[in-house]
Amino acid sequence: MFLQHHLSDFEKWDIKILATDISAKVLTHAMRGAYDPKTVEGLSKEIIGDAFETKKTEEGRYQIHTSLRDKVLFRKYNLVTDPFFFKNRFDMIFCRNVMIYFDDVTRHNLIGRFTTLLQKGSPLFLGSSESLTTHRESLKLLGSSIYQRL
């Protein structure tokens, strides 16, 4: 939704988003792309009009447009134990409010893995309560919880 709203030539971009979670239940819910009215309250009418179907679902939920949902690949994935086998580097990585559950060694290892997956100059977005104490030589702080791969 953010990219659709901010890129004037959105349809010309080859956008692919990998969305992962360790919970199959969470992924199933996310794949539906249906949001309660309270969830979309903070969005502008313009974004709601562009990103969601004109009719709500039978349950009164907002249904994301198929064209947006089709850009997202949902996968069950464990950041700690599953191998990182990705053939392409990422243009950006969002890992928000996940690492707070891990110990320092696991956080250090994840940041190292994320850094190698990012293209040079690409951002890594962390949660507001997460910060880096390692990998300062390969990541530069751009803003609150936003880092750039050097």
Per-residue pLDDT, 131? 79
Q: In this structure, is residue 6 part of a structural domain? A: no
Q: What is the pTM of this model?
A: 0.85
Are residue 34 and residue 83 in the same domain, yes or no?
Answer: no
Taking the CA atoms of the chain, what radius of gyration do you get in angstroms?
17
User: What CATH number does residue 103 fall under?
Assistant: 3.40.50.150
Are residue 121 and residue 135 in the same domain, yes or no?
Answer: yes
The total number of structural domains in the chain stands at 2
Are residue 101 and residue 140 in the same domain, yes or no?
Answer: yes
Are residue 42 and residue 56 in the same domain, yes or no?
Answer: yes
Q: In this structure, is residue 108 part of a structural domain? A: yes
Per-residue pLDDT, 63? 96
pLDDT, tens digit, for every residue of 43-101?
999 999 999 998 888 899 999 999 999 999 999 999 999 988 888 899 999 999 899 99
Are residue 40 and residue 59 in the same domain, yes or no?
Answer: yes
Angle at 95 between CA 92 and CA 97, to 5 degrees: 150
In whole angstroms, how far apart are CA 147 and each of 72, 80, 84, 94, 118?
23, 21, 20, 11, 11
Q: In this structure, is residue 9 part of a structural domain? A: no
Segment 22-44 shows an average pLDDT of 94
pLDDT, tens digit, for every residue of 100-149?
999 999 999 999 999 999 999 999 999 988 878 777 789 999 998 999 99
Are residue 58 and residue 92 in the same domain, yes or no?
Answer: no
Are residue 92 and residue 71 in the same domain, yes or no?
Answer: no
What percentage of the chain carries pLDDT values higher than 70?
Answer: 100
Q: In this structure, is residue 104 part of a structural domain? A: yes
Range of the domain at 39: 22-75
Are residue 150 and residue 89 in the same domain, yes or no?
Answer: yes
Per-residue pLDDT, 140? 94
Are residue 129 and residue 71 in the same domain, yes or no?
Answer: no
Are residue 119 and residue 136 in the same domain, yes or no?
Answer: yes
Lowest mean pLDDT segment, chosen from 11-15, 27-31, 129-133: 129-133
Per-residue pLDDT, 65? 95
Are residue 83 and residue 71 in the same domain, yes or no?
Answer: no
